Structure 1
Amino acid sequence: MVHWNLSPHPISDIRDWSDAGRLELQPDFQRREVWAMTAKVMLIDSILSDIPLPKVFLSKVMRDGSTYRIVIDGQQRISTILDYLRDSFALDAPYSGPNEGKKFSQLDEETQAKILQYRIDFNEATNPTDRETRDVYMRVNKYTTPLTKQELRRADFPGDFLNFVEETSVNDFFDQAAIFTPTDRRRYGDAEYLSEIVAALIDGVQDKKATLDSFYIKYAEWDQDHKGNISDRLSLALADIGEIFSTFPEGLKKTRFRQKADFYSLVLAVDALRLREGSIQGKDLSDLSDDLGLLDAEIAPESMGAIFSEYAIKCVSQANSASSRRWRMNFLEAILAGTYLSCPPSAPAAGILKMVKQDSEAHCDMSYTSPKCPICDSKFSEADQYEDVAIGWPPSAKVFQVSNSRWVHQACADGASDWSIA
């Protein structure tokens, strides 16, 4: 049975092994290198701060009278250290200190020596079998739970942005709406998800997590007025969503809009309308409830309605890409705008409403030729095409939603000054 020895080595030894070609960093069972640049920078910061690193597991073998070392566990740490010694990266953000922006060769001699003399604990085994090596790798990795990216951000990016999203994520709204699962709460998935929403409120729709670290870095020291503005916008959007879904039997939590893809786009759609000075205060929400109820019931990949199916697919296929998120946001904004803005929508909102109208008419199995044009009181003919008709709201309509709209002849609409037309 193989025997493991604890053997501390300075970083200078690791460099010498590598320079001599006697260090193997990626045996076939190792994972490919996956560390982000921020993680690499913070590893070097830990070394400069004399913080102990986890043990590295090595196997030693003799080849042609020389000792070769094969990294069993710790490849990413060793690779990062060697990359820094070779000037492959500099100590950029989130590092802050006297060596900010410096590569290894730019450090003063004392600091270089401090890094080279830093000792790492190695567990070394001489000539283990391939089976023994793989067994150790499996045991070291299988029975440990790796930190999530958000758990790492808590260590790497302390500051105002982190504090804000963690404090806001425990808002009672999220529990009442069942936005987060117990696992989300345990592993800080709630704070990570809220980070994505806050990042979008600051700088528009983002690709999922692709730029998230940059917000933690940039807003580690956050202008209080700006933070207050974002906080207010988020609070007001959540309050509106709560009011809108209060008309549903069990609120938001029993609808599809509690799902993370939908909820992300819903918050941003509400915020966008509020920024356009839209409001739901004092308005009848029944028409909007009808429309949202229709969406909740009909959105599905297999839906007969093309627009409903497309929305559902964009919640599944590349759901968190910027393009899918933006499409869903624009779709929901078109539905909400009738209540928020109380005016006939314009393109592209009118186009979205027209497709929803077509889909809902088709789903209800209402023949397109059966309704009458309410302006001229004549039936639509089989010769009529969708380009010959428009969505219109009668003079009595106070809120312009799909639910209280009517199909009208385009020609009739052009001559009807008292009708509102999309």
Structure 2
Amino acid sequence: MSSTPQTYTVSDFIEWNTKKQLNLSPDFQRGSVWTPSAKVFLIDTILNDLPMPQVFFRTKIDASTQTMSREVVDGQQRLRAILEFAAGKLKLTSKSPKFKGKTYSDLDIEDQEVFLSYKIPCVQLINADNSMVLEIFARLNSYSVKVTPAELRHAEYIEPIKWAIYDASRDWKYLWNELGVVSVRDSVRMKNVSLMAEFFMIFDIGFGDGGEPTITKYYKSRKTEPEEFFLPIREKIDAVLEEIIDNLVDDFWETTFFDAPNFLVLFAAVAYLMYGFSDSRITEGVEDFKAEGVNWEDAIETLAEISQEFESEHNDEGEDGRYSDFVSASKSTTHRISSRKPRFQILVKAISNHDA
């Protein structure tokens, strides 16, 4: 047995499948489980010539008959989607914005050529038995970096909630790539998707305890909701982010308010003042401010004062500034409601249009 890293084009797999030299359903494989959204996302990856993970297949060579067959060990969901699209049985959706509404035959000749010539990274396991296949994957997994909860959710969930949050994270890449609300390094591990999930949670269930277990619980609770359920939430998220960026980015993007923990609290405060949300755990005492609007002139002044307190050495020496409660709460566990509530309420009262 040998393992050989190689690349094969999409057209190679189409040819093997046509000649019945490709087995997508060996005994150790499960059936097709991908949703249409997941399939479309993969095809969009290919049409945009972006990388995809390696495909592992076992190549059985029969010297007596001079024939060769291939059993897919890892990657059959990807290959099923590719073959389905090539056969004209998959229409692209909004998960592929540039090619929305098209089947393979609807693509321009140039795009069809891009699709067919796309190189899929592969590893051939030549004449490997089942025990050797299991040994290889055990070794591969022993070198793997532990996945983050966000990566695990992205792998586990195939429902609309996953795509609603992921698409919003991708569309708002300006937050991560340019403003660094979540660093590029952390965004690679999908921590930006976790932050976006909390934006969805604020409008859906309120602003309480956060953290990865809470986010996972939210995914589970909304697992059966259709795509349409998330559209109005997304519209509000976009509006709040646009307001924050339009009014604050020039003066505050290098301050604590554009670091994930306090950006989240700022988002929650602006969201509450623009639209309101129901969550008595954190809104008790500021109910009169709900949907009263933001006074951006006051907001800029207040955020500047808080930012200065963060930067001032006297906060580390125990001296109390006007917003010492905000600064102090920011230093504790930032995903607990006990830390979020004082910061949220201070911002709501300080930047609202409400006449106190």
With the length of structure 2 as denominator, give the TM-score of the two structures.
Answer: 0.52
Residue correspondence of structure 1 range 229-244 to structure 2 within 5 A: 235-239=276-280, 243=284
* In structure 1, C-alpha distance between the alignment counterparts of 2:213 and 2:200, rounded to whole Å: 14
Please tell me the residue identity of whatever aligns with 1:95.
S
CA contact (8 A) 1:50 1:118 kept: yes
Task: Quote how far apart the aligned CAs of 1:233 are.
Answer: 9.3
Q: Structure 1 residues 129 and 224 mapped into 2: Cα distance closer, same or farther (>3 Å)?
A: closer
CA contact (8 A) 1:159 1:221 kept: no
1:36 and 1:21 map into 2 onto residues whose CA distance is 25
* 1:147 equivalent in alignment to 2:152: yes
Partners of 2:36 and 2:26 in 1: how far apart?
23
1:93-108 matched pairs, under 5 angstroms: 93-97=94-98, 99-108=99-108
The answer as to whether partners of 1:184 and 1:190 remain within 8 angstroms in 2 is: yes
Q: Secondary structure at the match of 1:120?
A: strand
Change (3 A) 1:6 1:48: same
Amino acid at match of 1:127: N
SS of 1:147's partner is helix
In 2, Cα distance between equivalents of 1:152 and 1:135 = 34
Aligned AA (2:31): R
How far, CA to CA, are the matches of 2:57 and 2:6 in structure 1?
A: 10
Q: Residues 151 and 4 from structure 1, CA distance in 2 versus in 1: closer, same or farther, beyond 3 angstroms?
A: farther
- Counterpart CA distance in 1 for 2:235 and 2:2 is 50
- Under a length normalisation based on structure 1, what TM-score does the superposition of the two structures give? 0.44
Number of equivalences: 223
Task: Supply the distance in 2 between the matched residues of 1:170 and 1:123 (Cα, whole angstroms).
Answer: 44
Q: Deviation at 1:94?
A: 2.3
**Partner amino acid, structure 2, of 1:4:** S
Relative to structure 1, the CA distance from residue 164 to residue 59 in structure 2 (aligned partners, 3 Å threshold; closer, same or farther) is: closer
Q: CA deviation at 1:219?
A: 6.1
| Aligned equivalent of 1:166, options 198, 207, 210 | 198
- Secondary structure in 1 matching 2:125: strand
Structure with larger Rg: 1
The match for 2:225 is 211
Give the drift of 1:124. 0.5
Q: Any unmatched runs of 5+ in structure 1?
A: 197-207, 245-273, 275-422
In structure 1, the residue matched to 2:112 is 112
Q: Which residue of 1 aligns with 2:15?
A: 16
Query: Are the structure 2 counterparts of residues 132 and 52 from structure 1 closer, same or farther at C-alpha, using a change threshold of 3 Å?
Result: same
**Alignment map for 1:243-262 (pairs within 5 Å):** 243=284
Q: List aligned pairs for 1:365-404, cutoff 5 A.
A: none
Aligned with 1:51: secondary structure? Answer: coil
Which string of whole-angstrom CA distances, capped at 9 and with x for unpartnered residues, describes residues 206-228 of structure 1?
Answer: xx322354445676555849x99
Alignment root-mean-square deviation, CA: 4.0
- The question of 1:189 aligning with 2:199 is answered no
1:240/1:83 CA distance change after superposition, 3 Å: same
Change (3 A) 1:16 1:236: closer
Q: 1:236 to 1:31 in 2, by over 3 A?
A: same
Take 1:81 and 1:239, find their aligned partners in 2: how far apart are those partners? 49
Per-residue CA deviations over 1:339-379 (Å, capped at 9, x if unaligned) read xxxxxxxxxxxxxxxxxxxxxxxxxxxxxxxxxxxxxxxxx
Structure 2 residue ranges without an equivalent (≥5): 173-192, 244-269, 291-356
Letter in 2 for 1:184: P
Q: Which has the higher helix share?
A: 2
The alpha-carbon distance between structure 1 residues 170 and 147, as it changes in their structure 2 partners (threshold 3 A), is same
The code of the aligned residue for 1:36 comes to T
C-alpha contact (below 8 Å) 2:2/2:126 kept by paired residues: yes
CA distance in 2, matches of 1:116, 1:230: 46
Residue identity over aligned pairs, in percent, reads 26
SS of 2:279's equivalent? helix
Q: Higher RCO, 1 or 2 (CA under 8 Å, sep at least 6)?
A: 2
